Each structure stands twice: as structure tokens, then as C-alpha cells.
Amino acid sequence: MKDWLSVQDYLFGIDQVGDWEGQEEIVAENLNELIHVAWQQLPDETDADTIDKIIEGIWQHLRGDTAILEAEHEELIDWVLHYVTNQLENNLDEEI
């Protein structure tokens, strides 16, 4: 369950985002902000496996994509909110 976990465990350091031609700090900051937004959207009863999949999926979708640097802040926030909602709905569908 979410209250047994900490968002801090999911955040990325500059050394974890790979080579972004000197923009690693910005990528890490943007990614971590999106992770915080996603975390706030997750219901407290969300199980650890689902949280892992959702948070890991954010980076899987954005790694190597310049959108994390070039997109407007609001666009990234909207994307992550939509992504989390879809993942939660898909997870519920799989459990039925």
C-alpha cells in the first residue's frame, strides 16, 4: 500500500538519467516533478506493484524523448495525469 512506501525511493538523480548533453539536471528535475505529481494522484490503497509499474512507466515513456526538455510544463503535467489515470483503469480491468 502507498503509505508503506516513500516517493523519495522513486526519484532520479542526475547520474541516473543518462546523457542529455549537459541537461541532465533539468531532465532529473522535470522527471522528479512528474513523479511527485503522479504520486499525489495514486490512491492510498494502491498496491506496491502497481505503483512500481506506473512510476517506472513514466521514465520508460520519456527516456530519450526530448519532450521532457521541450514540452511546456502544463503539457507534461497533463500527460502524467492522463497516464496515471489510464494505468490505474487498466490495472483495475486486469483484476476483474
Per-residue pLDDT reduced to its tens digit, 46-72: 999 999 999 999 999 999 899 999 999
Q: What pLDDT does 2 receive?
A: 87
Q: What pLDDT does 62 receive?
A: 94
Q: What pLDDT does 96 receive?
A: 35
Instruction: Specify the long-range contacts of residues 48-51, CB closer than 8 Å, at least 24 apart.
Output: 48/1, 48/4, 48/5, 50/87, 50/88, 50/91, 51/2, 51/5
Q: What pLDDT does 3 receive?
A: 85
Q: What pLDDT does 78 receive?
A: 98
Q: What pLDDT does 1 receive?
A: 81
Instruction: Tell me which residues of the chain have a pLDDT lower than 70.
Output: 92-96
Domain boundaries along the sequence of the chain: 2-95
